[in-house]
Amino acid sequence: MSKQATPIEKDAAGGASGRKFVLLLILCCFVLVGAAFLLWYVPYVGLNNISPHLPLILALCFGGLVLFGLGGALTLVFTILWGRNLFVNRKTRGVVIRFLFPILVGIGRLLGISKDDLRRSFIAVNNRLVLAEARKVRPEKLLILLPHCLQFHECSVRITGNIENCKACGKCKIKDLVAISKRHGVSISVATGGTIARRIVVETRPDIIIGVACERDLTSGIQDTYPIPVYGILNKRTHGPCFDTDVDLDLVERGLSTFLENGRPDPQRLGPSGPQ
């Protein structure tokens, strides 16, 4: 029986379980088998005239390639379904991020699946692979990366360069996120776009990132920061895209508990009424 996606996985990816991604991946397996058969069968007549052994040699070569591709694809499928580390490492995530996702986006378009649906499914799959690696890090090696649209739109305080400039007025979740980062002793930054996000990652050099953003920005961020693992949490857009967005603070807390070595806030940073 396959292991069901945990609540944190489904919630972080906006309720997506990665099912679309897995189904498209299985479809790719069938396409791979069919293409290999055709590539072997079509020249069969001509090759047989050259040498009676050539068709068999070609069949063995194609068979080896198909088995290699199927083995990798099925290992990935079972890892996604079971949530267990079946020889999954950075290279496996790299294959998904760099090669499979662009191919599956193309197939999804042909089947009429929207880009955002595929992105949500991709984020869910990426999160499952990151969890399968089960990487634990020290607080100083974890980065929380936030989008600027979480800030209240009428706020005049600039937090992009330094999020601690926040005046803690409580009109958005920035105040709470800063408090969470201090409680756990982790870095936290706000990015207005991909260029700034990449600069922040280069400067902080984290071993793992908990990223909050929309489907498009999370997907591009996961691709841009590879091989650094990014655990993606979709923001809430009750007022529309890129405007006074929101985030589930409990998901951020649970992500920190999952990836930090001690899994708990640093007691030295806590006073009787909260973070110092």
- At what angle are helices 19-41 and 54-82 packed, to 10 degrees? 180
CA 221 from chain centre, in angstroms, equals: 9
Share of the chain above pLDDT 90, in %: 38
Whether the pLDDT of residue 50 is over 50: the answer is yes
Q: 261 falls in which pLDDT band (50, 70, 90)? A: confident
| Residue-level pLDDT at 268 | 44
Q: Is 136 helix (H, G, I), strand (E, B) or coil?
A: coil
Look at 2 and 72; give whichever has higher pLDDT: 72
Q: 7 falls in which pLDDT band (50, 70, 90)? A: low
Q: What is the mean pLDDT of the chain?
A: 80
pLDDT in tens, 163-176: 989 999 999 999 99
Whether the pLDDT of residue 11 is over 90: the answer is no
Its CATH architecture, for the domain 136-275, is 3-Layer(aba) Sandwich (3.40)
- Mean pLDDT in residue range 201-210: 94
Asked whether 128 and 5 are in contact (CB, 8 A), the reply is yes
| Residue-level pLDDT at 209 | 96
Helices (H), the chain: 7-12, 19-41, 44-50, 54-82, 90-95, 101-110, 115-133, 174-184, 194-204, 215-225, 249-259
| Residue-level pLDDT at 5 | 55
Whether the pLDDT of residue 96 is over 60: the answer is yes
All structural domains of the chain with their residue ranges:
8-132, 136-275
pLDDT in tens, 35-45: 777 777 766 66
Q: Give the residues across from 147 on adjacent strands.
A: 191
Beta carbons within 8 Å of 38's beta carbon, 6+ residues apart: none
Whether the pLDDT of residue 204 is over 90: the answer is yes
| Residue-level pLDDT at 241 | 87
Look at 215 and 267; give whichever has higher pLDDT: 215
Asked whether 9 and 123 are in contact (CB, 8 A), the reply is no
Whether the pLDDT of residue 108 is over 90: the answer is no
Asked whether 188 and 181 are in contact (CB, 8 A), the reply is yes
Q: How far apart are CA 15 and CA 238, in angstroms?
A: 16
| Residue-level pLDDT at 18 | 72
| Residue-level pLDDT at 190 | 95
| Residue-level pLDDT at 274 | 34
Q: Is 142 helix (H, G, I), strand (E, B) or coil?
A: strand
Share of the chain above pLDDT 70, in %: 76
The residue count of the chain comes to 276
